[in-house]
């Protein structure tokens, strides 16, 4: 079963791929034979992640970019195709989840950044890469969303709104780019990542879920491998929940 999710000959682009869930997915793809393009805002972090990919015997490219900015996304796509020649798997994983005490405290700039990274970026990347995947005969787009979209908390309401919209966009793009290209989402619960460092320890002890803890980043990998590989050939437009059985 070692090659059940074989990705040999494929190229994956992972946004937010230098840490957390994105980093684990990048390594998971490389472990199954894919070459990986890692992007985040920090060039040094991207290079470190690529070194891990290359240590697994695969090619890696570090292409830093701000995926909340339209023109930066356009450059990222051109640079990625120039480097790797193709993209078979796109993972829209980069996220931004600022907390505010009251909605009135949300500034316009922070609102725009939150929507930009969590919704505008995935939309633009998919809209550029999806048609190229269609031309090459197939591909898989994976959007990483959040269970916050189903259970929004006031402090993170804008983030939750963006992730809820990304769930909807997943279905829309599945219909637009199908049948050659599959578009799915992984709707994750709380995970032990840098983004969660302010609350992860307490929630890990108190969360009311079936597994009684929050997730570890490596626990998202199998879901990503399933959606990236041909094993999910009849799965598209789907939002797959990975949350440890939250109530």
Residue positions annotated with a catalytic role: 159
Is 40 a member of any domain?
A: yes
CATH number at residue 175: 3.40.50.720
Question: CA–CA distance from 56 to each of 31, 32, 231 (Å)?
Answer: 6, 9, 23
147 pLDDT tier (thresholds 50, 70, 90): very high
Q: How many domains does the structure of the chain reveal?
A: 1
Q: Average of pLDDT values for 33-52?
A: 97
Q: pTM to 2 decimals?
A: 0.96
Contact 228, 89 (CB under 8 A): yes
Handedness of CA 200, 204, 206, 208 (dihedral sign): positive
**Residue 197 forms part of a structural domain:** yes
Range of the domain at 229: 11-241
Q: What is the mean pLDDT of residues 3-32?
A: 96
Q: Which residue carries 């994956």 as its tokens?
A: 12
Q: Above 70 in pLDDT, residue 184? A: yes
Confirm whether 124 is domain-assigned. yes
What value does the mean pLDDT take over residues 168-177? 98
> pLDDT: is 4 or 143 the higher one?
143
Looking at the domain assignment, is residue 17 inside a domain? Answer: yes
Q: How confident is the model at residue 55 (pLDDT cuts 50, 70, 90)?
A: very high
d(CA 204, CA 175) in angstroms, rounded, equals 38
pLDDT at 4 over 90: no
Indicate the length of the chain as a whole number: 247
How far apart are alpha carbons 106 and 156 in whole angstroms? 10
By CB neighbour count within 10 A (0-12 exposed, 13-18 middle, 19+ buried), where does 239 fall?
Answer: middle
Q: Which two tokens stand for residue 45?
A: 């972090």
CB-based contacts of 36, cutoff 8 Å, min separation 6: 11, 12, 13, 14, 17, 26, 29, 30, 50, 53, 58, 59, 60, 61
pLDDT band at 2 (very low <50, low <70, confident <90, very high): low
User: Which is more confidently placed, 195 or 108?
Assistant: 108
pLDDT in tens, 73-104: 999 999 999 999 999 999 999 999 999 999 99
Is 198 among the domain residues? Answer: yes
Instruction: Please check whether residue 5 lies inside any domain of the structure.
Output: no
Mean pLDDT of 134-139: 98
**What is residue 194's predicted lDDT score, i.e. its pLDDT?**
77
145 pLDDT higher than 80:
yes
In three-state secondary structure terms, 184 is strand
* Structure confidence at residue 196 as a pLDDT band (50, 70, 90): confident
In a domain, 112, yes or no: yes
Mean pLDDT, residues 172-177:
98
| CB 67, CB 95: distance < 8 Å | no
| 120 within domain boundaries | yes
Kindly tell me if the per-residue pLDDT of 1 is higher than 60.
no
User: What is the number of other CB atoms lying within 10 angstroms of the CB of residue 139?
Assistant: 24
Name, in order, each residue with C-beta under 8 angstroms of 58's C-beta and a sequence gap of 6 or more. Answer: 30, 33, 34, 35, 36
């Amino acid at each position: 079963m070692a090659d059940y999710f074989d990705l040999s000959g494929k190229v994956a682009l992972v946004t937010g791929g230098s840490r957390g869930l994105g980093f684990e997915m990048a390594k998971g793809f490389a472990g199954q034979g894919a070459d990986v393009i890692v992007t985040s805002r920090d060039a040094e972090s991207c290079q470190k992640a690529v070194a891990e990919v290359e240590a697994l015997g695969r090619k890696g490219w570090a292409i830093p970019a701000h995926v909340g900015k339209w023109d930066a996304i356009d450059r990222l796509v051109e640079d990625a195709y120039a480097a790797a020649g193709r993209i078979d798997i796109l993972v829209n994983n980069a996220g931004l989840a600022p907390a505010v005490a009251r909605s009135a405290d949300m500034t316009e700039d922070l609102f725009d950044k939150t929507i930009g990274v969590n919704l505008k970026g995935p939309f633009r990347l998919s809209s550029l890469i999806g048609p190229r995947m269609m031309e090459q005969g197939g591909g898989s787009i994976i959007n990483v969303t959040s269970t916050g979209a189903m259970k929004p908390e006031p402090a993170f309401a804008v983030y939750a709104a963006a992730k809820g919209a990304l769930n909807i966009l997943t279905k829309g793009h599945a219909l637009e780019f199908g049948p050659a290209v599959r578009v799915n989402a992984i709707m994750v619960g709380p995970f032990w990542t840098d983004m969660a460092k302010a609350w992860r320890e307490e929630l890990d002890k108190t969360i009311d879920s079936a597994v009684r803890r929050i997730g570890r980043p490596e626990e998202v990998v199998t879901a990503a491998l399933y959606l990236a590989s041909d094993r999910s050939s009849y799965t598209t437009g789907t939002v797959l929940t990975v949350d440890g059985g939250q109530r």
